[in-house]
């Protein structure tokens, strides 16, 4: 008996479940593993034996899962300790894998999840444990090293650009228009905010200013930019990343509800749009300022998903299975852009240790000289990733989704 296990970790995306489907379908084609198991709530759930058998899913459920947003298996933010100081979780995990005859563990996630893949594969190698640990990339932040882009980003970019288009039109209907601010996610990087550059009407970008975390935020320059634009056009459209920082590297705004970080010591952000609104009002530019904080809708908007993104998420899952059959371990499946027009990609393997706990920042050369927008190179890079709209299953006028945790598919 030879089985595999797949689980998800970190923040969800609109297409993360497509990677699960990729693993299931990849194995259907290869007929290599006897069962594909799913770990509920990532490593944390697996350690509590929360495991289901995905091979018992009906074909219709598998297809429906592909078009269901968020983490169908549930997620976690569980940091594995250094095995040199604490082996307990490692021993528990590999014992559970042994009990279910699991040869390969596929972990879908971002750079923190690749930290887990790296640690587990290193531990298995040191202890002579014959098991494979393989990372499958996902994150709307698009901040994983070595891969051209990450599944999840294209759909989030499409959602942001579409929302910017629609709210721009809504904010432009009056004789005396004000200032509209859209706040995107992006704790450390500006990839999401930059995607607003795709929003154009009659060939002209609708966002007047796009502010990224990679650039030190200057209140003085911001007020000058906004004042000049407002006096000229009687309206201003601003897109700002939640991760904007001042000259000292401090976040402009952070949520004070808990004043805590997550288990990977990441600050919980939000509210930079209202910070900018206060600046504008306090400096008497105008009182007509509206703020839209997109929040989690950026990562679960299946109704605005990119078909390119959806298919690539499935592809990296399928190819993870292919690489596992070849005997590889300790790597993440990466995406290489072969050409841009026509758009073409291929996958490759990169050691998870090279991706773990690192951040791929938005390129400096793609930021305009005045530091308040992005260049055409950014537009050309992101555009192919948002192409296509899949046919989503509809029931009674709404999307029909599936929740795996509620399915009666036990582990054995």
What CA–CA distances, in Å, run from 408 to 129, 274, 367, 400? 32, 45, 50, 18
39 vs 44: CA distance, rounded Å: 9
Task: Name, in order, each residue with C-beta under 8 angstroms of 293's C-beta and a sequence gap of 6 or more.
Answer: 183, 270, 271, 273
Please report which helix (H) or strand (E) contains residue 29, including its range: helix 16-30
Phi first, then psi, for residue 405 (nearest 5°) are -60, -25
How far, in Å, are 106, 279, 371 from residue 192 at the CA level? 27, 23, 16
Q: Which helix (H) or strand (E) holds 297?
A: helix 297-300
- Reading the block at residue 104, the tokens are 């390969």
Kindly report the number of other CB atoms within 10 A of residue 169's CB atom: 11
Pick the closest to residue 191 from 393, 387, 404, 378 (CA basis): 378
Q: Which of 141, 188, 208, 309 is catalytic?
A: 141
Which whole-number Å values give the CA distances from 99 to 57, 96, 123, 275, 369, in the listed order?
22, 5, 18, 53, 58
SS3 content of the chain, % helix, strand, coil (to 5): 40, 20, 40
Question: How many Cα neighbours within 13 Å face the side chain of 72?
Answer: 26
- For residue 54, what are its two tokens? 């995905």
Cis peptide before 342 (omega within 30 of 0): yes
**85 to each of 9, 88, 90, how far by Cα in Å?**
23, 9, 11
Q: Which two tokens stand for residue 176?
A: 């005396």
| 218/95 Cα distance (integer angstroms) | 54
Kindly state the tokens that stand for 360: 């791929």
Q: Is 115 annotated in the active site?
A: no
Helix axes 219-233, 272-282, angle to 10 degrees: 70
| Residues classed as catalytic | 141
């Amino acid at each position: 008996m030879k089985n595999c296990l797949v689980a998800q970790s970190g923040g969800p995306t609109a297409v993360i479940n497509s990677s699960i489907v990729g693993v299931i379908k990849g194995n259907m084609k290869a007929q290599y593993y006897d069962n594909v198991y799913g770990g509920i709530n990532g490593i944390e759930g697996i350690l509590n034996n929360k495991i289901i058998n995905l091979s018992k899913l009906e074909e219709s459920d598998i297809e429906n899962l592909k078009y269901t947003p968020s983490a169908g298996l549930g997620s976690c933010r569980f940091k594995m300790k250094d095995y040199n100081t604490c082996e307990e979780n490692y021993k528990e995990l590999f014992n559970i894998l042994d009990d279910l005859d699991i040869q390969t563990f596929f972990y879908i996630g971002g750079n923190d999840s690749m930290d887990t893949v790296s640690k587990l594969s290193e531990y298995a190698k040191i202890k002579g444990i014959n098991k494979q640990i393989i990372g499958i990339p996902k994150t709307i932040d698009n901040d994983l090293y070595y891969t051209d882009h990450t599944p999840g980003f294209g759909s989030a970019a499409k959602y942001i650009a579409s929302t910017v288009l629609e709210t721009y039109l809504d904010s432009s209907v009056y004789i005396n228009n004000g200032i509209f601010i859209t706040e995107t996610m992006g704790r450390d990087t500006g990839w999401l905010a930059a995607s607003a550059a795709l929003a154009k009407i009659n060939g002209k970008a609708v966002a007047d200013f796009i502010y990224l975390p990679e650039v030190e935020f200057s209140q003085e320059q911001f007020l000058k930019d906004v004042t000049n634009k407002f006096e000229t056009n009687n309206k201003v459209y601003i897109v700002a990343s939640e991760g904007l920082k001042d000259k000292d590297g401090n976040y402009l705004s952070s949520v004070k509800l808990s004043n805590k970080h997550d288990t990977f010591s990441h600050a919980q952000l939000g509210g930079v749009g209202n910070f900018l609104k206060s600046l504008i009002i306090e400096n008497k530019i105008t009182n007509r300022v509206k703020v839209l904080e997109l929040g989690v809708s950026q990562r679960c908007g299946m109704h605005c998903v990119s078909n390119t993104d959806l298919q690539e998420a499935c592809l990296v899952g399928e190819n993870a299975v292919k690489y596992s059959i070849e005997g590889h371990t300790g790597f993440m499946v990466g995406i290489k852009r072969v050409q841009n027009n026509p758009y073409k990609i291929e996958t490759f393997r990169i050691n998870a240790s090279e991706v773990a706990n690192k951040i791929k920042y938005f390129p400096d050369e793609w930021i305009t000289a005045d530091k308040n927008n992005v260049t055409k190179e950014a537009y050309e890079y992101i555009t192919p990733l948002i192409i296509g709209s899949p046919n989503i299953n509809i029931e009674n006028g709404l999307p029909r989704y599936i929740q795996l945790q509620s399915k009666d598919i036990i582990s054995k």
